[in-house]
Structure 1
């Protein structure tokens, strides 16, 4: 498993296959999926997954920038309680209220996907989209809590996990 997976060292799990019609793993994230300040549309990319293990009762998705100059990274999106029968989300599913599932506030406290906009001079940033197969239908998390609380709950309930990584270069300072 790639070192991009922020959960691998604390919660090893079998792999899911994750893919997107909108970007290729390891390649630059297209502009439309970035912050409007840098020409984007703040649209979450389409994601699909397969290889779901028996016992999966729901899914969760996170998008994380491990290269943010914060010491702890930056969470761009966290959604949970996606029904087990759903194996893809369309582009734009991260818009406010789009999924009808539990969307936790990201690191700028908005309950939606927020597109990449790395600070000038901070180099290349990876954006890791992680899909988690979960062993319960509903993770009982207060919708005002953080993606960190979701990660803690996923530690105890993840059956399998897969990810895709896109990158964006920061503007020169």
Structure 2
């Protein structure tokens, strides 16, 4: 992942980026998709306990992309869930120096839920429970970032 997509926090020397969420594109949504949910998770973060970097859901089922910066843009057409810091926004990678490249798994889930069905501020566990049997299919990609 490019440095600009890494986290930005002057108090944390591991956060060397601009905290801009990357642009994402997809195609061929399954029939019946009413909304999408996006989960960005670093499985190696917190010494293997994992870090949730971004939860975005209520994305219209007709959408096929999210523009760069959508994770911190209040006008973006999505609902934000809580990242590891409890913020309803994108949090870019800040892996500790010397820990190697971490793998940031972007999972996009097609759902039967209407875009406004879920409240703002869900945790990853709450989001997965809320989607439950409304999940239709998922796809993903992995971004790598390290110092």
Aligned equivalent of 2:25: 48
- TM (normalized to structure 1)? 0.75
Deviations 1:22-60 (A, max 9, x none): xxxxxxx11110012443110111101112111111111
Cα deviation, residue 65, structure 1: 0.3
Cα deviation, residue 166, structure 1: 0.9
Is 1:68 the counterpart of 2:40 in the alignment? no
Q: Is the 8 A contact 1:92 1:98 kept in 2?
A: no
Is 1:157 the counterpart of 2:129 in the alignment? no
Cα deviation, residue 140, structure 1: 4.0
Is 1:168 the counterpart of 2:118 in the alignment? no
Structure with greater helix percent: 2
Aligned equivalent of 1:81: 58
Unpaired segments ≥5 residues, structure 1: 1-28
d(CA) in 1 for partners of 2:78, 2:69: 14
Q: Is the 8 A contact 2:110 2:138 kept in 1?
A: yes
Unpaired segments ≥5 residues, structure 2: 10-14
d(CA) in 2 for partners of 1:125, 1:155: 28
Aligned equivalent of 1:127: 104
d(CA) in 2 for partners of 1:139, 1:67: 32
SS of the residue aligned with 1:154?
A: helix
Which piece of structure 1 moves more, 110-119 or 150-159?
150-159
Cα deviation, residue 119, structure 1: 1.9
Structure 1 residue corresponding to 2:34, chosen from 57, 60, 70: 57
Which piece of structure 1 moves more, 142-151 or 123-132?
142-151
Cα deviation, residue 124, structure 1: 2.1
d(CA) in 2 for partners of 1:155, 1:72: 23
Q: Which runs of 4+ in 1 moved over 6 A?
A: none
- TM (normalized to structure 2)? 0.87
Structure 2 residue corresponding to 1:136, chosen from 92, 102, 113: 113
Aligned equivalent of 1:30: 2
